[in-house]
Amino acid sequence: MKVIKKIIKYAFIVVFLSSASCNGSDDQDIPTGDHSFYCYIDGELFVPRGNPNFSTSPDDDGLHFLEYDAFFSVTAKDYRKYTVFFNTINREIGTVTLKESNGNSYFYNYSINHAIVRKNGILYLSKENSGTITFIESNADNVKGTFEFTLYNENDDNDTIQVTNGHFND
């Protein structure tokens, strides 16, 4: 009987320690601090990879923030998986609601609050009230916030992706 109790005790300890060591394993890959970005796309952690300088080359993945007056834009990319883009025409502290995207991610499109994700060559676009971007800090030195949205396949409204727990820190 004592042997069975010891086996059960050790089995419990092994199971407990094994499960505790797995908690937060995704957190090791989450960037923090200045010039950082991450989100979950359909539950999968997305962090832009590669060179942090913006380029149009598929070989130069990365992260780019653009600020111009009240306008704010983020492009986070990893051409192997996703490109996440959003912009707002007002970056004051508070929450901005997304509008319907026209699919245009050019930086000179300063006219709408919208989001786009490219996944496997398919564009997923924001619709009216399909998400929010919240600015926690916005000044000359730093822009920091959170975001979440549901985006729709540009050719099939039944095909959606969920972008959750998004964070950015310029």
| Average pLDDT of the chain to the nearest whole number | 79
Reply yes or no on whether the pLDDT at 164 is more than 90.
yes
Bigger pLDDT: 161 vs 11: 161
**Rounded to an integer, what distance in angstroms lies between the CA atom of residue 89 and that of residue 162?**
23
Q: What is the mean pLDDT of residues 66-82?
A: 86
Give residue 49's pLDDT band: very low, low, confident or very high (50, 70, 90): confident
Q: Does residue 141 or residue 50 have the better pLDDT? A: 141
Output phi, psi for 32, to 5 deg.
Answer: -135, 165
Amino acid at 111: S
The DSSP code for 27 is G
To 10 degrees, the CA torsion angle through 102, 84, 36, 114?
Answer: 20
pLDDT band at 119 (very low <50, low <70, confident <90, very high): very high
pLDDT at 17: 34
Q: How many CA atoms lie within 13 A of 61 on its CB side?
A: 13
- Of residues 128, 123, 121, the one with CA closest to residue 160: 123
Interval 79-100 mean pLDDT: 91
The closest of 168, 161, 101 to 133, measured between CA atoms, is: 168
pLDDT at 66 over 90: no
Residue 45, token pair as written in the block = 């952690």
SS3 assignment, position 92: coil
Task: Give the whole-angstrom CA distance, residue 168 versus residue 40.
Answer: 12
Residue bearing the bigger pLDDT, 167 or 66: 167
